[in-house]
Amino acid sequence: AVVSTQSTGKLKRMIEETREENEGRKIVLISHSLGGPTTAAFLHGMTDEWRSTYIDSWISISGVFGGALKVLKAMVSHGVMEEIPSILSDRFIHRRVARTIMGNYFMLPRRPVYGSEDILLRTPNRNYTVDNMDQLFLDLGVPLGPEMLDTVANSSYVEDPAVPVHCFNGKDIQTTSSYFYTNQKDFPDEIPTDVWGDGDGTVPARALKVCHGWESTRSVTEYSGKALGEHGKILDNKDLIKKVIDIVKDNQSCTEKCSIRNRT
pLDDT of 48? 97
Distance CA 83, CA 89 (A): 10
Question: How far lies 40's CA from each of 51, 83, 178, 248, in Å?
Answer: 12, 30, 25, 19
Q: Residue 83 pLDDT more than 90?
A: no
Burial class (CB in 10 A: 0-12, 13-18, 19+), 178: buried
Alpha helices for the chain (secondary structure H): 5-21, 35-44, 48-54, 69-73, 91-98, 102-106, 133-139, 145-152, 205-208, 226-229, 238-249
What rounded mean pLDDT belongs to the chain? 90
Report d(CA 31, CA 242) in Å as an integer. Answer: 16
Q: Phi and psi at residue 121, in whole multiples of 5°?
A: -145, 125
pLDDT in tens, 138-157: 999 999 999 999 988 877 78
Q: Could you read off the pLDDT of 113-137 as tens digits, one per residue?
A: 999 999 999 999 999 999 999 999 9
Is pLDDT at 235 greater than 90 in this prediction? yes
Question: What is the DSSP pairing of strand 121-122 with strand 173-180?
Answer: parallel
pTM score: 0.89
Contacts for 248 with CB less than 8 Å, ≥ 6 apart: 28
Q: How many secondary structure helices (H) and strands (E) does the chain include?
A: 11, 9
Q: How far is CA 89 from the centre of its chain?
A: 26
pLDDT band at 238 (very low <50, low <70, confident <90, very high): very high
Collapsed DSSP state (helix, strand, coil) of residue 221: strand
